[in-house]
């Protein structure tokens, strides 16, 4: 029997109306595009799970869907999508064939929509995967293969765990590719410890925590003093991005290049994690060491990127485009909760009704950490002790 729940939606008509009212993408108000709607959940099939959503993390691709700044995914998907790529919830119903989780389990999601022959996704659930329904809702029905038991004894609180279902696998994938590519060129006996740089956000901070845990020198370039302080407490060197005007000009990039040379004793960065677009891309390439690797899972601001291929070739720099992890990689990343991954969470935990404001503040870059939305007022006993 189907159930009707509250869920957030983005539709193409709202995007068009706000774009016309604002005049351009830069002036659009995201709170007028992401709206609370009603959703009829499909019946639970033999391989499905219905879960009560407890908390979700705000993800940047939702802002792109609301602004249609790269592709109008709501229009491509038929005019409306129900987004939400990451969630933490409680299992309330399972199909007859489900063995990996049981009613009462606390679970996290991954967002593989259409895995290829190697397990990597061709499409992302609740974004460009046709017919997919996301998890910014009170409840959801998914295939059991999309759920992983949450490690409640990992040492993280509930909000910290809710920050990681999408970001941790992304960072895990980025890091294993970055260090793997670097080792193809430079074996560990030639250089055991490398310099690793990350720009700005939650994926980068987790990427750097992995690098630090494996004994490398980690540097976090962010405009947020709160986020820099959190990582500096873990032994990761902070660099104030605002000191270089967020790389608005070539002179700013040159100043950053000089600073990085000084703090690395002229060695520069052997691995860089960035959004592969926008102003930090040029800055990341400018500080790449010989044999360096630049990795990114992002396409923020543009689907097109340019660079001096001759210079990168001479320096033996590899620029690697990535997407997302395999289901097995997501499980492996979850094993690192608390032991390696210790996310910085924004000081305000948003109410479910405040989700649109959360995304507007994410777009304005005013948050002090990864933003979390509490969906359920009534929490199960198994997690009440994990709520700070």
- 256-279 pLDDT tens trace: 999 999 999 999 999 999 754 456
- Evaluate if residue 379 carries a pLDDT over 70: yes
Give the mean model confidence (pLDDT) for residues 234-247. 93
46 pLDDT tier (thresholds 50, 70, 90):
very high
Q: Do 212 and 65 sit in the same domain of this protein? A: no
Q: Is residue 37 classed as helix, strand or coil in its secondary structure?
A: strand
- At 69 the pLDDT is 80
Q: Do 353 and 252 sit in the same domain of this protein? A: no
Which residue range(s) make up the domain with 228?
168-321
Residue 140 lies in a domain: yes
- At 300 the pLDDT is 52
- At 277 the pLDDT is 47
Within 10 angstroms of residue 163's Cβ, the number of other Cβ atoms is 31
What's the CATH code of the domain at 287? 3.40.50.720
Mean pLDDT of the chain: 92
Q: Do 103 and 38 sit in the same domain of this protein? A: yes
Residue 154 lies in a domain: yes
Residue 331 lies in a domain: no
Cβ atoms of 269 and 260 closer than 8 Å: yes
Q: Do 112 and 172 sit in the same domain of this protein? A: no
DSSP letters for 299-346? -TT-S-----HHHHHHTT-EEEE-----HHHHHHHHTTBTTTB---EE
> 202: closest CA among 181, 180, 178, 226?
226
Within 10 angstroms of residue 328's Cβ, the number of other Cβ atoms is 9
64 pLDDT tier (thresholds 50, 70, 90):
confident
Give the mean model confidence (pLDDT) for residues 61-89. 90
Q: Do 216 and 91 sit in the same domain of this protein? A: no
Span 162-171, pLDDT tens digits: 999 999 999 9
Q: Do 203 and 304 sit in the same domain of this protein? A: yes
Q: Do 310 and 207 sit in the same domain of this protein? A: yes
Q: Do 141 and 183 sit in the same domain of this protein? A: no
CA dist., res. 274 & res. 281, Å (int)? 7
- At 95 the pLDDT is 97
CA dihedral 360, 158, 163, 336 (to 10 degrees): 170
The model scores a pTM over 0.85: yes
- Evaluate if residue 297 carries a pLDDT over 70: no
Lowest mean pLDDT among 81-95, 112-126, 189-203, 207-221: 112-126
- Evaluate if residue 9 carries a pLDDT over 90: yes
Instruction: Please tell me what DSSP assigns to residue 137.
Output: B
Q: Do 314 and 380 sit in the same domain of this protein? A: no
Cβ atoms of 88 and 158 closer than 8 Å: yes
- At 276 the pLDDT is 41
Q: Do 173 and 300 sit in the same domain of this protein? A: yes
- At 324 the pLDDT is 85
Within 10 angstroms of residue 14's Cβ, the number of other Cβ atoms is 17
**Which uninterrupted H or E stretch holds 178?**
helix 167-185
Q: Do 236 and 94 sit in the same domain of this protein? A: no
Number of domains in the chain: 2
Span 305-351, pLDDT tens digits: 778 888 888 899 999 887 789 999 999 999 999 999 999 999 999 99
What's the CATH code of the domain at 86? 3.90.180.10
> 370: closest CA among 205, 191, 124, 255?
205
Residue 338 lies in a domain: no
**Which uninterrupted H or E stretch holds 262?**
helix 250-263
Q: Do 148 and 185 sit in the same domain of this protein? A: no
Residue showing tokens 């109306």: 17
Give the mean model confidence (pLDDT) for residues 357-370. 92
Lowest mean pLDDT among 124-128, 213-217, 257-261, 294-298: 294-298
Cβ burial 262-272 (10 Å sphere, 16+ → b, else e): eebeeebbbbb
């Amino acid at each position: 029997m189907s159930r009707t729940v509250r869920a957030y939606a983005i539709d193409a008509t709202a995007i068009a109306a706000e774009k016309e009212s604002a005049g351009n993408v830069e002036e659009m108000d995201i709170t007028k595009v992401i709206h609370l709607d009603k959703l009829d959940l499909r019946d639970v099939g033999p391989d499905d799970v219905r879960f009560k959503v407890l908390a979700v993390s705000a993800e940047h691709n939702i802002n792109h869907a609301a602004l249609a700044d790269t592709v109008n995914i709501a229009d491509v998907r038929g005019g409306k999508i129900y987004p939400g790529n990451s969630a933490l919830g409680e299992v309330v119903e399972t199909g007859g064939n489900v063995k990996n989780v049981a009613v009462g389990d606390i679970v996290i999601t991954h967002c593989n929509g259409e895995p290829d022959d190697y397990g990597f996704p061709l499409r992302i659930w609740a974004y460009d995967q046709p017919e997919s329904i996301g998890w910014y809702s009170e409840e959801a029905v998914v295939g059991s293969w999309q759920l992983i038991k949450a490690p409640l004894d990992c040492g993280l609180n509930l909000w910290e765990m809710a920050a990681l279902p999408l970001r941790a696998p992304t960072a895990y994938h980025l890091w294993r590719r970055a260090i793997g590519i670097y080792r193809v060129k430079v074996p560990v006996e030639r250089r055991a410890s490398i310099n690793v740089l990350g720009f700005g956000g939650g994926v980068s901070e987790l990427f750097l925590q992995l690098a630090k845990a494996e004994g490398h020198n980690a540097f976090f370039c962010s405009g947020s003093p709160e986020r820099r302080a959190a990582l500096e407490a873990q032994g990761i060197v902070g660099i104030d991005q605002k000191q270089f005007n967020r790389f608005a000009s070539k002179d700013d990039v040159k100043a950053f290049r000089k600073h990085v040379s000084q703090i690395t004793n002229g060695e520069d960065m052997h691995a860089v994690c960035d959004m592969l677009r926008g102003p930090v891309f040029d800055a990341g390439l400018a500080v790449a060491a010989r044999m360096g690797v630049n990795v990114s899972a992002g396409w923020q601001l543009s689907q097109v990127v340019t660079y001096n291929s001759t210079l990168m070739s001479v320096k033996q720099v590899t620029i690697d485009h990535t997407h997302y992890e395999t289901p097995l990689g997501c499980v492996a990343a979850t094993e690192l909760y608390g032991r390696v991954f210790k996310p910085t969470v924004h000081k305000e935990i948003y109410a479910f009704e405040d989700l649109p404001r959360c995304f507007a503040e994410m777009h304005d870059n005013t948050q002090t950490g990864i933003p979390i939305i509490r969906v359920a007022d009534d929490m199960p006993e198994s997690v009440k002790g994990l709520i700070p």
